Each structure stands twice: as structure tokens, then as C-alpha cells.
Homo-oligomer: A and B are copies of this chain.
Amino acid sequence: MKKGKVNKRVLIYDEEGLTKLASKIKEVRGNKGYTQEDLAYESGLSLSQVARIETIKINPTVSTIFKIARTLDVQVSDLFDFKLSKKAK
């Protein structure tokens, strides 16, 4: 055991889902002819945040995704229109 802190928190970071979500957002944004800056400005999000989401650097909150969906004028479910692999049991 390492010295110092012991209880390291297991972080919730679903790489598969975040990767697929990022692809969806990029896809829809591109299809609408929006730049990251367009999306950021119209949604009220920061440009850095949009970039971080699309490059899978963070695990955004659902309200952030709601803002993106509203701005891109798609259903939220459209941004989650992919399948996750089954969890291990």
C-alpha cells in the first residue's frame, strides 16, 4: 500500500459512452454547419467546454447535453442514439 491517501475513489468515466456521444455531437453539429464556436455561443456554453466534450476530455452533465440538443434542434435521444456494450455481471 502506498503511503498517504488510501481510499482512492473509483471515478465514473464511461469511455465507450463518452466516445460515442462525442461522435454523435460532432456528426450532428457538422451536419447543421455549426462550428464549435457557433454551438458554444448559441448554447451559452464555453468554447473550451464544447471542445473538451468532443475530444472526450470530460464527463459532461446532462444539462450540458440538453443545451447542446436544444441548440442543434434535435431530440436529446438523438445524441444518445447508440448502443452500449452490456455490462459485465
Given the interface contacts A1-B35, A62-B18, A63-B18, does A44 sit within 8 Å of B77 by beta carbon?
no
Q: Select one of B61, B69, B79, B84 contacting A66, CB under 8 A.
A: B84
0/1 interface trace, chain A 42-69, chain B, CB 8 Å (1 if under):
0011100000000000011111111101
Given the interface contacts A21-B62, A62-B62, does A67 sit within 8 Å of B12 by beta carbon?
yes
Copy tally for this chain in the complex stands at 2
Chain B minimum-CB-distance residue to A35: B1
Q: Select one of B1, B14, B78, B80 contacting A63, CB under 8 A.
A: B14
Q: Show 8 residue pairs from A and B whose CB-CB distance is below 8 angstroms, ordered by the A residue.
A: A14-B67, A18-B62, A18-B63, A59-B62, A62-B62, A70-B86, A71-B87, A75-B83
